[in-house]
Chains A and B, each alone.
Chain A
Amino acid sequence: MTAPREFHAARWNEPLVMQLGRPGARGQLFPAPEPEVAEAVGEGLIPAAVARKDRPQLPEITEFEAQRHYLHLSQMTLGMMGISLFGTCTMKYNSKTAEYAAQRPELAEVHPYQHPDTLQGVLSILHEFDQILRALSGMDQFVFQAGGGADAAYTMAAVARAYWADRGQLGQRTEMVTSIQAHPCNPATAAAAGFRVINLPLEEKGYPSLQALQAAVGPNTALVMINNPDDMGIYNPEIREWTKAAHAAGALIFYDHANFNGVMGKLSARELGFDACMFMLHKTFGAPKAGGGPAVGAYGCTAELAPYLPAPVVLERAGHYLLDHDRPKSCGKIREFWGNVPQVVKAWAWARAMGAEGIRLASDISVVANNYMDRKLAEIPGLQRSHDNIAVRRMEMTRWSLGPLKEETGVGTVDFANRMADYGIDPWWMSHEPWIVPEPFTPEAGELWSKEDIDAWIAVVARIAREARECPEKVRTAPHNQPVAQVKGEVFDDPARWAMTWRAFLRKHGAEAARGAA
């Protein structure tokens, strides 16, 4: 087995930016108003009553010092530069060519209120990408306004509100039904949109029973939101019956396609009976995650739901592209403008670079690689697959449990995550709430990582499992080779000690602590 790599992260002991510099130092200068401007407008343009009198307590540093400081911070961020088999997030290569293209002024310095005649390039990309997603899903129209997967789930809730309001049934259709293992954003966005949330528990086959769904839906159901496969790697083979059951109750049913990587090119949401679906472009479609956005949840639906989409929608008329704002039944804006356009461009570039053949191959690789990983992880004592009684091969990821190892050694999944980084491996994803299995972790290999990467990753897990038995304190006190030692979390829920800003920090911890914060 591959031996874990020796690694030490950069440790710059970098001061806080507020502690750098010297009075009067400058990182950016702005010219004084031109003489003709000054002469024309005079002084005292801001009324005294609303003029700022204090000096904001910002750092005073040079341009180079700002550059060096933030470069140091970037170097103290592992950020997928190790091996990141971060399940539920489908880690991909983020094309530099697409990145650099998006930084060109033809996109970066474009205003969304420019006349559409001046936006034909970007509109052609959005339109073609809409067509690509239609082909992958069978839906009739996509929009990119949502700023992430959760925002796309919220878009679904808003579209459902408009759809039912238009039929005079919103007062009656007040409920959204989902599974307890659905991503938290589904119940949370539905609740924030005003729906009551009905959760279905997992039953013996690892997914909610069709009977439970049938008992849950009825004349009060506005919407069902479901993912498939789930984060355990279980595919619900009754999903066709689910869409039928939802429709039999008159309800809409939404496919959260967060876990699309294993089924892309193989399934069509529309053919399975769904009314709408969502793709995460910063995940499945190769746009960067950027530590949590800007992201895009591409939301697509059938022609029946399309009138309720947030405006604008990109249309093509005889080779000319336009933005359709005239949508009287629209649910209203989810977010200003038309979405994180550069991310859509990068996702389009990913889809073009992959093509249909590349997309199909990527899903094959994802699922085979996960099963290879399952096989290898099963050889490490103390690890247990979720729903261990279900023997079938999982999809593109599997939820695992460190429960037995924790029982034996007291070392759990948080300890592992902290320790992994010491070997240059990005900490693993554990699980969204709720933790259905104890001490969970969820690896996903996707199509990016090589078999050697997967082997190296597993070797680190095996090494830490051995450490848990031989020197558990070393794991529990990890990390040891990172930019800082283990962060002590007690302050995070203590109003007297948490500090979200330098101002609050000085107030609560005093100048002495601030000096030590260097």
Chain B
Amino acid sequence: MASRPRAHPWMANSAPGVLEGMLAEIGAASVAEVFEQIPADHYRKAPLVLPPQLASELELRRELVARLRRNEDCERNLSFLGAGVWQHHVPAVVDEIVGRTEFLTNVWGSYQSDHGRNQAWWEFQSQLGALLNLDVVQLPVYSWGCAAGHAIRMAARITGRRKVLVPALSDPERLSVIRTYCEPPEMAGHIAVVTVAADPTSGRLDLADLRAKLGPDVAAVYFETPAYLGTIELGAAEIARAARAAGAETIVGVDPVSLGVLAAPGDWGADIVTGPVQPLGVHMNCGGGVGGFIASRDEERYVRQYNGFLVSIAPTAEPGQWGFGLASSHQTSYGAREHGRDWTGNSTYLWAIAGAVYMSLLGPEGFRELGNLIVARARYAQRLLAAVPGVRIVWPDTTFKEFVVNFDGTGRSVAEINDALRARGIFGGKDLSAELPALGQSALWCVTEVHSAADIRRAAQTLKEILQ
């Protein structure tokens, strides 16, 4: 008798005799017979060649760790990279909770069997609503750019208009996603994306240019504060007023970790608010930690336009008891296929749980302290870097955690400088020279609570050394 392969640890019915037993019960002579629906000529002809099986956990772990060790990371190195993914402190309790197998392997049950998860989701919405001062928060979509894209499409449906104004100084990564969501000009549903100039002295939105472009065809104005290049938008309330006067929606992007110190967008006239969820307790994960939220006032004209899951609290059959479920869900693509609002599917809901734990750990004082610490250290970094000969901060003292550093005076390119820094265990800021040539040899640096004063001094000192 030929030796049979060993049972696989992940397949119970690979144990000897089980498959045969089931075949006998269904009256099939062979496995092939069970596949009777597939015509013979549909079977693949190319042999399936895959890397050798690593069926033992021992071998699998060894291979995994060996591969990953070929990466350099931001713990062993000192990183100043941001621009859509930022290094923040992740409390250990967050890691414990998002690693719970009940949450990790959960898919979808009943409102009762998923009660704990649904409560965590609702607490994410509630706590983020408290930071934003808004009553409706949706569970996160794939990313901030996707959130902005959906928000713009919501505004287009609400207003019946097909143009959106966005800052010229937008993150090209995010803007590319927004353009994808706005559809190419050939499509009937195309939303024109028109850029608004920046004030060259501050990086803020040029209000004159904004007013010139606002008109009866504009569905929405989209802008961020802090903006892509770190700028705190001082004219936010004025932008919202101008948009409203033109009948357009004001869509805003905010960094939730700034909201302990920056005014809540719900308080200054934003209609639809978006932002990243990664800063709320999610590791950078090589970009795989991103997610984006969408929030608004609790008005039906907004609520009926959301694309995804809106968790609502609801009574249960037991008097006085509360449970959770999905509000207005028939408008999603699950409920209405192509008649629904855009589409939804698997998203980044585990990060809603991370965010819920994170926000509950920080509380109001934690967010205030965090915001103050970040802005203080980022400004300190600006001062120290600006003191390096040839280095200039482009818009000093106007930013939150990110800021533009210009190296034109050094005679060196950002790429050269970052290479030299990397050789000394430092990841310099994102190179902007190709995407924003007007800024010369500039980089976007990011400083957060993880950067101590000593780290910042080390960076400035190293920069000084390599530029000598």
Q: Judging by beta carbons under 8 Å apart, are B327 and A493 in contact?
A: yes
Residue of B nearest to A337 (CB): B287
Q: Judging by beta carbons under 8 Å apart, are A138 and B46 in contact?
A: yes
Q: Judging by beta carbons under 8 Å apart, are B25 and A375 in contact?
A: yes
A340 CB → nearest B CB, Å: 4
Partner of B350, one of A105, A294, A421, A479: A294
Does A418 lie at the interface of the complex (its beta carbon under 8 Å from any beta carbon of B)?
A: yes
B229 CB → nearest A CB, Å: 15
- Beyond A50-B232, A97-B64, A371-B26, whether A337 also contacts B317 by CB under 8 A is no
Does A214 lie at the interface of the complex (its beta carbon under 8 Å from any beta carbon of B)?
A: no
Residues of A within 8 A of B130 (CB): 56-58, 501-503
Partner of A484, one of B129, B309, B316, B397: B316
Cα distance, A226 to B347, chains bound together (Å): 22
Does A77 lie at the interface of the complex (its beta carbon under 8 Å from any beta carbon of B)?
A: yes
Partner of A91, one of B107, B177, B343: B107
Does B389 lie at the interface of the complex (its beta carbon under 8 Å from any beta carbon of A)?
A: no
Does B334 lie at the interface of the complex (its beta carbon under 8 Å from any beta carbon of A)?
A: yes
Does A301 lie at the interface of the complex (its beta carbon under 8 Å from any beta carbon of B)?
A: no
Does B463 lie at the interface of the complex (its beta carbon under 8 Å from any beta carbon of A)?
A: no
Residues of A within 8 A of B449 (CB): 30
Cα distance, A261 to B148, chains bound together (Å): 35
Q: Judging by beta carbons under 8 Å apart, are A488 and B315 in contact?
A: yes
Q: Judging by beta carbons under 8 Å apart, are B10 and A448 in contact?
A: yes
- Beyond A74-B103, A86-B108, whether A337 also contacts B12 by CB under 8 A is no
Q: Judging by beta carbons under 8 Å apart, are A192 and B259 in contact?
A: no
- Beyond A26-B363, A492-B327, whether A393 also contacts B28 by CB under 8 A is yes
Q: Judging by beta carbons under 8 Å apart, are A501 and B71 in contact?
A: no
Partner of B60, one of A184, A290, A352, A357: A352
A351-375 vs B, Cβ < 8 Å mask (1 yes, 0 no): 1111111111110110111011011
Task: Give the contact-size bracket for chain B.
Answer: 35 or more
- Beyond A98-B64, A355-B53, whether A77 also contacts B114 by CB under 8 A is yes
Q: Judging by beta carbons under 8 Å apart, are B113 and A78 in contact?
A: yes
Q: Judging by beta carbons under 8 Å apart, are A79 and B129 in contact?
A: no
Cα distance, A124 to B70, chains bound together (Å): 9
A333-356 vs B, Cβ < 8 Å mask (1 yes, 0 no): 111111111111100010111111
Partner of A501, one of B137, B176, B320, B334: B137
B276 CB → nearest A CB, Å: 9
B137 CB → nearest A CB, Å: 6
Cα distance, A334 to B343, chains bound together (Å): 13
A234-242, A246-254, A400-408, A463-471: which lies at the B interface?
A234-242
- Beyond A25-B363, A94-B104, A193-B183, whether A267 also contacts B10 by CB under 8 A is no
Residues of A within 8 A of B264 (CB): 52, 54, 56
Q: Judging by beta carbons under 8 Å apart, are B177 and A335 in contact?
A: yes
Q: Judging by beta carbons under 8 Å apart, are A52 and B262 in contact?
A: yes
- Beyond A79-B103, A484-B321, whether A17 also contacts B356 by CB under 8 A is yes
Cα distance, A517 to B356, chains bound together (Å): 18
Q: Judging by beta carbons under 8 Å apart, are A101 and B288 in contact?
A: no
B76-84, B205-213, B244-252: which lies at the A interface?
B76-84
Residue of B nearest to A183 (CB): B345
Partner of B28, one of A71, A191, A371, A452: A371
Does A69 lie at the interface of the complex (its beta carbon under 8 Å from any beta carbon of B)?
A: yes
Q: Judging by beta carbons under 8 Å apart, are B73 and A41 in contact?
A: no
Residue of A nearest to B100 (CB): A74
Cα distance, A492 to B18, chains bound together (Å): 46
Does A303 lie at the interface of the complex (its beta carbon under 8 Å from any beta carbon of B)?
A: no
Residues of B within 8 A of A433 (CB): 334-337
Partner of A333, one of B73, B107, B145, B325: B145
- Beyond A372-B25, A498-B327, whether A128 also contacts B146 by CB under 8 A is no
Task: Give the contact-size bracket for chain A.
Answer: 35 or more
Q: Judging by beta carbons under 8 Å apart, are A336 and B71 in contact?
A: no
Residue of B nearest to A364 (CB): B31
Does A72 lie at the interface of the complex (its beta carbon under 8 Å from any beta carbon of B)?
A: yes
A475-518 vs B, Cβ < 8 Å mask (1 yes, 0 no): 00101001111111111110100111111110100000000110
Does A8 lie at the interface of the complex (its beta carbon under 8 Å from any beta carbon of B)?
A: no
Residue of A nearest to B186 (CB): A170
Q: Identify which of residues 342-386 in chain B touch chain A, using a CB-to-CB cut-off of 8 Å.
A: 342-351, 353, 356-357, 359-373, 375-377, 379-380, 383
Cα distance, A462 to B237, chains bound together (Å): 62
Q: Judging by beta carbons under 8 Å apart, are B109 and A421 in contact?
A: yes
Partner of B188, one of A66, A194, A237, A495: A194
Cα distance, A49 to B237, chains bound together (Å): 10
Sample of 20 more A-B contacts, CB < 8 Å, known A18-B126, A488-B314, A492-B325: A57-B130, A59-B360, A63-B91, A97-B64, A111-B79, A115-B422, A136-B50, A147-B346, A151-B345, A184-B337, A192-B342, A361-B14, A372-B22, A374-B26, A447-B11, A485-B318, A487-B111, A489-B314, A500-B311, A501-B137
Return 28 A-B CB contacts under 8 Å, by A number: A16-B123, A21-B363, A38-B376, A47-B232, A58-B130, A80-B107, A81-B105, A101-B61, A110-B73, A114-B81, A118-B71, A119-B71, A187-B338, A194-B184, A271-B44, A271-B46, A293-B348, A295-B346, A334-B180, A336-B174, A341-B285, A361-B8, A368-B13, A369-B22, A375-B26, A392-B36, A502-B130, A517-B313
